[in-house]
Amino acid sequence: MFRGTLYTKIVMIFIGIVIFSSLVSYAIGHFYLFDGDLFGEEVINSSIGIAEIIEHSDPNQLDEISQALEKLNYSILLFDENGVPLLERSAFSVSDHMLSEVFHSREENGTALLMQEGDDATRLIGMPITVENEPYALFVHLHYEEWLFEIGKITRMLLLVVLTIGSLLILLASRYVLNPVKKLTNAAREMAKGNFSVRLKSKNRDEVGELITSFNHMASEVEKIDKMREDFVSSVSHEFQSPLTSIRGFTRAIRDEVIPKQNQKEYLDIISQETERLSRLSENLLRLASLDSEHHPYNPERFRLDEQIRRTVLATEPQWKSRNVQISLDVEPVEITADKDLLEQVWLNLLTNAIKYSFENETIFIECKKGTSAISVRFKDVGKGIPNEELPHLFERFYKVDKARSSSVEGNGLGLSIVKKILSLHGYTIDVASEEGVGSTFTVHIPLIKETEGDY
């Protein structure tokens, strides 16, 4: 069944253009062929040449000359001053007025005159000549209908050949041009089926080549997103499955009285901790989902950043005191305009993370300094540190540097992801410097230009 494919449209448009151009060209050529100026000058030049032949020939040879010219579609008449024709046989006639014009032109300049421009394919030239020192009027009649017919026939054949060859060439060229588009269509269908590894090769540097390059880039990004989705689902399942397994196992043991009553409180505390862990995981997932959406509430306000950091330190006092960790606080008074609640979550996550991975009996250094172009907030801990190869993945969701250590340290690998997302929403940046066995430093940069613009 005929379908309006791009290939068909290109071919039909090209053939239509060729046909239209051919018809216009034929019409213009046909009009030009019948234009008097085209043959008028040529006939005048030919007539001058015929006149020279007659003037230098014997009058007795006029019949032979006339017969020879008729084979070339030329007819001639020769009149003396009295209007008597020297040639009786001719396919045309002239009037007395024409004879007068020709003899009168001898007195002026003796040039050839275009006597007739009929609508048919004929031309009549009159000119004065001298034969044996006697004045005569020569009329040359040209009938070129056969010439026009042959020219038109050749023109039509050429146009038909051009149309045929052009159509065949556009058929081949269209297939060549549209073949990459078909490959793109098939590749897109493969991606729709879930095959994100499909890639296309192209050596073209035109628009189609750029389209293929963009498609390959898109496929790579989609493949990465799909891998992240699979990892995310796997990580979420694992994070939920671990506490649920503990809760299920301990509740069954208590129900079946496998655990003595004097030990049940200890296991109930474990169950309570695991439910809190599930609660925190759910809250973090909901928070990330909200931050990822375009409708997350954003409420900027002016507040003292140094005071907010101090309140965060006080709020986490039970945690850092339980590990015998000291806090060194060096914050300058500074005001910013931002979402206060969101930034409070940033400082809480960074400080909690530093407390978790600091060595006991060490000190966490917190600084807030205002520079010339930005405000820097730094959290530095003394702990195990992070390997350099792990740093690029540090802010990925559910990513944990030390899987073995993570099992003994509370956390689900979402804290730093939330930090990164909140800072990105504000237009802030964060960088990490770490050395194994020494510790890590997280530095948040708040551009001062954000404060002067006041466009939150």
| CATH code for position 106 | 3.30.450.20
What is the structure's pLDDT at 454?
A: 46
Q: Give the DSSP letter of residue 359.
A: P
Same domain? 157 vs 243: no
Report the distance separating Cα 402 and Cα 279, nearest Å: 23
Tokens of 36: 């008097």
Q: How confident is the model at residue 196 (pLDDT cuts 50, 70, 90)?
A: confident
Is 146 a residue whose pLDDT tops 60?
Answer: yes
State the DSSP code for 85: B
Choose one of 117, 143, 169: the last residue of a domain. 143
Residue 106: predicted pLDDT: 67
Residues 131 and 227 in one domain: no
Q: Which of 329, 339, 254, 326 is closest to 298 using CA atoms?
A: 339
The count of domains in the chain is 4
Report pLDDT digits (tens) over 397-446: 777 665 544 444 455 677 888 889 889 888 999 999 999 889 999 999 99
Select the highest-mean-pLDDT range: 19-23, 35-39, 45-49, 277-281. Answer: 45-49
Least confident of 43-47, 133-137, 407-411: 407-411
User: Does 65 share its domain with 106?
Assistant: yes
Same domain, 49 and 83: yes
Considering the domain boundaries, does residue 1 fall inside one? no
DSSP class of 383: B
Task: Report whether pLDDT(447) > 80.
Answer: yes
- Residues 169, 261 within the same domain: no
Question: What are the C-alpha distances in Å from 74 to residues 69, 77, 436?
Answer: 5, 10, 109
Rounded to an integer, the average pLDDT of 72-88 is 81
Model pLDDT for residues 212-231, shown as the tens digit of each residue: 888 888 888 888 777 767 76
Cα separation, 373 vs 444, in Å, equals 13
Which one of 261, 290, 319 terminates a domain? 290
- Provide the pLDDT for residue 115: 57
Beta bridge partners of 136: 129
Q: In sequence order, what are the residues at sequence separation of 6 or more whose Cβ sits closer than 8 angstroms to the Cβ of residue 43?
A: 114, 123, 125, 140, 142
Average pLDDT over residues 279-289: 72
CB 364 within 8 A of CB 320: yes
Alpha-carbon torsion, ordered 37, 39, 45, 46, to 10 deg: -170
Domain limits for position 174: 6-32+149-187
Q: Which of 45-59, 174-188, 331-345 has the lowest mean pLDDT?
A: 174-188
pLDDT of 279 over the 70 cut: yes
Does residue 414 share a domain with residue 325? yes
Average pLDDT, stretch 11-20?
76
Same domain, 110 and 255: no
Question: Of the segments 20-29, 101-110, 114-123, 360-369, which one has the largest average pLDDT value?
Answer: 360-369
Residue carrying structure tokens 């234009």: 35
Is 445 domain-assigned? Answer: yes
Q: Is the pLDDT of residue 388 over 80?
A: yes
With beta carbons less than 8 A apart as the criterion, state whether 322 and 360 touch.
Answer: no
Structure tokens at 173: 């060229």
Provide the CATH number for the domain around residue 322: 3.30.565.10
Structure tokens at 16: 């239509």
CATH number, domain with residue 250? 1.10.287.130
- Backbone dihedral angles phi then psi of residue 430, each to the nearest 5 degrees: -140, 140
Task: Output phi, psi for 290, to 5 deg.
Answer: -65, -40
Q: Is residue 78 in a domain?
A: yes
Please report whether residue 118 resides in a domain: yes
> Could you read off the pLDDT of 310-369 as tens digits, one per residue?
999 998 888 899 889 999 999 999 999 999 988 988 998 899 889 988 999 999 999 999
Q: Which amino acid is at 182?
A: K
DSSP state letters, 124-189:
EEEEEEEETTEEEEEEEEEE-HHHHHHHHHHHHHHHHHHHHHHHHHHHHHHHHHHHHHHHHHHHHH
If asked whether residues 101 and 27 sit together in one domain, one would say no
Residue 34 clears pLDDT 70, i.e. is over it: no
The answer to the question of residue 202 being in a domain is no
CA dist., res. 72 & res. 88, Å (int):
19
Has residue 116 been placed in a domain? yes
- Statement to judge: residues 168 and 262 lie in one domain: no
Q: In terms of domains, do 44 and 135 share one?
A: yes
Residues 108 and 250 in one domain: no
Whether the predicted pLDDT of 80 surpasses 60: yes
Tell me how crowded residue 339 is: count the other CB atoms within 10 A of its CB. 19
Q: How many CA atoms lie within 13 A of 355 on its CB side?
A: 23
Residue 69 has pLDDT above 90, yes or no: no
- Residue 138 and residue 101 in contact, taking contact as beta carbons nearer than 8 Å: no
Of 290, 322, 348, the one marking the end of a domain is 290
- CA geometry: angle at 429 spanning 425 and 432, to 5°? 135
Strand order in the sheet with 439-447: 326-331, 363-370, 374-380, 439-447, 429-435
Quick check: is 198 in a domain?
Answer: no
User: Quick check: is 395 in a domain?
Assistant: yes
Q: Which helix (H) or strand (E) holds 79?
A: strand 74-79
pLDDT of 90 over the 70 cut: no
Output the pLDDT for position 89.
62
Q: What is the pLDDT of residue 363?
A: 94
Gap between the Cα atoms of 354 and 74, Å rounded: 112
229/261 same-domain check: yes
